[in-house]
Structure 1
Amino acid sequence: MIRVVVVEDSPTMRAILKTRLEREGDITVVGAAANAAEGRQMIRELDPDVITLDVEMPGMNGLDFLEKIMQLRPTPVIIVSGSTQKGTDTTARALALGAVDCYAKNESSGGLPMEDMGRLAGLIREAAKVQFPTRAPSTQRVATEARSSLSERPRLIAIGSSTGGVEALQVLLGGFPVDCPPTLVVQHISPRFAGAVAKTLDQHCPPRILLAEPDLPLKAGHVYIAPGDDRHLTVGGSMSYHARLRRGEPVSGHLPSVDMLFHSVAETVGAHAVGILLTGMGADGAQGLLAMAQRGAHTICQDEATCTVFGMPRAAISLGAAGVVAPIDHIARHAFSKAA
């Protein structure tokens, strides 16, 4: 049984969330708090597996409360977000602070969808699998280098991430130079929040960060994030590159797929690329990173100690696809260290 604490200022919303979750059979709401103060006490006393958190609350807002949770008692948090632009911007910031995922309220009413086909329950189940290990200081973590073929500045960087990825991307891209090579990112996220995530990252990282657009020329100093809709993000071109967004079926269970991006980079850029695979469930990106490594690209996986979920990097490492395994705060250095 997955034990959940709901933190939501609306009594109606609290009741709906409790009813919706407990009809699943494997989820129980052990506490429902109206504000951060009540939530803090319930979390301390009830030790839930997952927290659902409304970010727009009176008193201490959801962002401040989330930050305290992640600092003092790391617990998987699902953000229940408003449908306004303010709501999506706040949700993006919450993901960057360590929230596992987000669940959007109804666009027209601001309430919960009448029927979500078990989506919220699915997010709760996935969040319950997340572990927050005690992390040693970065000075005590040493990257494992199996091989490294990069001998010049990369022409393009490709990044894949999923659960916990927004927080990881903020750390990684925060270490990128302002004139970094063109960089493409597939982060598994709802299209409703993709633009806000790009905006949040852009505010906190040196390069210019924006959503990818069809056939957009790729420029140095720019990071292009997949919009998160029903289109795969790939790269086209030869010496100069452009973004490609094409509709299709899910690959490795995802649309957009990290594997699709990495395979296209392997074909188009070859040994002149860097591939980076970050935290996430499942195995999306593992085969694509292997294809990049086989073409001579410099390949890097986030280590287990700093991953929210080690699934995607673990799958790639097990295939022998990782040239370097490093903590998240070291990856930017490894991406450029061979590019003298």
Structure 2
Amino acid sequence: MAKTKVLVVDDSLTMRVLISGALERIPGVEVVGAADGAEEAREMVAEHHPHVMTLDVEMPGMSGLEYLAEIMDTRPMPVIMFSTRTEAGAEASIEALRLGAIDCFPKPKVAVQSELDAIIGKLGKRIKAARNADLKKTSAKPAATPVAANIDWNGRLLAIGADAANTQGLFDLFATFPANCPPTVVVQHMGPGLLAPMVEQLAGQVAPKVVIATDGMAAEQGTIYFAPQGDNHLALDTWPNGHLRLLPREPVSGERPSISLLFAAVSKACGANGVAVLLALDDEDGAAGIRAVLAGGSYAVARAEQGFTLAKGAVSQPLDGSAMSATVLKLCSK
């Protein structure tokens, strides 16, 4: 495969040099330009046709968020944001993810290469996964689906694996869930410090209760549980009447919490009474968990070449992303 072409956009010359240098050391990545703001970036996009852009949130003139909104409305492309590690920076990062950014990374506290080296592995993975993102114009997105009527729950537990690129998708999905939605457990890979403000924002906009899971918490109908960031994986001990468990184990596929570990735990506890949905662009962490869920006799939804596939055992069928909510709620209803 040809190299992934990246355009770096930052008003700081030092940061442009540092980020470009870090990216050039990632195998399969080529930096095709470095722009000091939106105006120069537009010219470079037209000239070089990059696959992915890195974009500074805090730029003078047209801010990174304003330029991101323009990109997603006119010429969608995968964008990875860099933001300061402050409360305001976290809020801006969440807004960037809502607008369609693939991920957000903290800018180095000190402009030295060693700080970027600490995230270069994950940055490389995100860039390569971002190249295959299926992005649509913001203005072309369909209107939000109304909140579904209360369900007659069939006892199935819903497990979702996502990453930062799925932030808007999760907001859209959970906005359709009724207040008595199935117990829903989520592992979402996000940058440091971003999960808590995102969960707080989500909780204020959807009908179900939304919380960050703690060890021993009961998995109950009407609640969406996010795995906490840190040194633990999220698992389930038994089902029905199960409790969530935080496990201090080594990372799986470089991730902690791990999507695959959650899916495997749900499969072991629930058997045919679990439903797994893998939304993450990079399925390195998640593919093994999907296989475990299918082996346990339950349903799984995962990304396919174009859109999603709904599978159970050896039988699978295409699933339009716009039908995700209705399909998931149907699988969890009598």
- Contact kept in structure 2, 1:101 and 1:123, CA below 8 Å: no
- TM-score w.r.t. length of structure 2: 0.80
State the Cα distance separating 1:124 from its structure 2 match. 6.2
- TM-score w.r.t. length of structure 1: 0.79
1:35 aligned residue: 37
State the Cα distance separating 1:250 from its structure 2 match. 2.7
State the Cα distance separating 1:79 from its structure 2 match. 0.9
1:194 aligned residue: 195
- Contact kept in structure 1, 2:229 and 2:257, CA below 8 Å: yes
Q: Report the 3-state secondary structure (helix = DSSP H, G, I; strand = E; otherwise coil) of the residue aligned with 2:301.
A: strand
Stretches of structure 2 that go unaligned for 5 or more consecutive residues are 143-151
2:329 aligned residue: 336
- Contact kept in structure 2, 1:301 and 1:322, CA below 8 Å: no
The 1-side partners of 2:262 and 2:32 are apart by 42
Q: Report the 3-state secondary structure (helix = DSSP H, G, I; strand = E; otherwise coil) of the residue aligned with 2:194.
A: helix
Per-residue CA shift, 1:258-312, capped at 9, x if unaligned?
Answer: 22111211222233332222232234333433433444433333454347xxxxx
- What percent of counterpart residues are identical? 35
- Contact kept in structure 1, 2:216 and 2:243, CA below 8 Å: yes
The 3 A distance-change label for structure 1 pair 284 and 26 is closer
1:183 aligned residue: 184
Stretches of structure 1 that go unaligned for 5 or more consecutive residues are 140-150, 308-312
The 2-side partners of 1:113 and 1:195 are apart by 27
Q: What residue identity is the alignment partner of 1:207?
A: P
State the Cα distance separating 1:123 from its structure 2 match. 4.4
State the Cα distance separating 1:87 from its structure 2 match. 1.0
Structure 1 window deviating more from structure 2 (108-117 vs 269-278): it is 108-117
Q: Which residue of the other structure, out of 57, 66, 70, is the alignment partner of 1:55?
A: 57
The 1-side partners of 2:52 and 2:248 are apart by 34
State the Cα distance separating 1:325 from its structure 2 match. 4.0
- Contact kept in structure 2, 1:6 and 1:14, CA below 8 Å: yes
- Contact kept in structure 1, 2:297 and 2:313, CA below 8 Å: no
Q: Which residue of the other structure, out of 14, 17, 20, is the alignment partner of 2:16?
A: 14
Per-residue CA shift, 1:85-126, capped at 9, x if unaligned?
Answer: 1212221232233222222123x5588753515337624642
Q: Report the 3-state secondary structure (helix = DSSP H, G, I; strand = E; otherwise coil) of the residue aligned with 2:117.
A: coil
The 3 A distance-change label for structure 1 pair 298 and 20 is closer
- Per chain length, whose mean CA-contact separation is higher, i.e. which structure has more relative contact order (CA < 8 Å, sep 6+)? 1
1:270 aligned residue: 271
The 3 A distance-change label for structure 1 pair 133 and 98 is closer
- Contact kept in structure 2, 1:289 and 1:322, CA below 8 Å: no
- Contact kept in structure 2, 1:195 and 1:210, CA below 8 Å: no
Q: Report the 3-state secondary structure (helix = DSSP H, G, I; strand = E; otherwise coil) of the residue aligned with 2:97.
A: helix
Task: List structure 1 runs of 4+ shifted beyond 6 angstroms.
Answer: none
- Contact kept in structure 1, 2:186 and 2:226, CA below 8 Å: yes
State the Cα distance separating 1:180 from its structure 2 match. 0.9
The 3 A distance-change label for structure 1 pair 2 and 303 is closer
Q: What residue identity is the alignment partner of 2:67?
A: F
Q: What residue identity is the alignment partner of 1:328?
A: G
Q: What residue identity is the alignment partner of 1:210?
A: V
The 3 A distance-change label for structure 1 pair 200 and 34 is farther
Per-residue CA shift, 1:104-151, capped at 9, x if unaligned?
Answer: 123x5588753515337624642563243779x999xxxxxxxxxxx9
- Contact kept in structure 2, 1:301 and 1:325, CA below 8 Å: no
